[in-house]
Amino acid sequence: MIQVTRLNGQEYYINPHQIESIEVHPDTTLLMLSGKYVVIKEKVPEVIDRIVEYRRRIGAFKNEE
pLDDT, tens digit, 9 for 90 and up, residues 10-56? 999 999 999 999 999 999 999 999 999 999 999 999 999 999 999 99
Q: Is residue 32 part of a domain?
A: yes
* pLDDT mean over 57-65: 72
Q: Give the integer Cα–Cα distance in Å for 38 and 19.
A: 10
What b/e string do you get for 14-37 counting C-beta neighbours within 10 Å, with b at 16 or more? bebeebeebeeeeebebeeeeeee
pLDDT at position 63, please? Answer: 63
Look at residues 57, 54, 58 and name the one whose alpha carbon lies nearest to residue 3. 54
Domain count of the chain?
1
What's the domain range around 6?
A: 2-57
Q: Is residue 39 part of a domain?
A: yes
Q: Is residue 34 part of a domain?
A: yes
pLDDT at position 41, please? Answer: 97
Query: Which pTM was predicted?
Result: 0.85
Q: Is residue 64 part of a domain?
A: no
Q: Is residue 42 part of a domain?
A: yes
pLDDT category at 59 given cuts 50, 70, 90 is confident
Q: Is the pLDDT of residue 65 over 60?
A: no
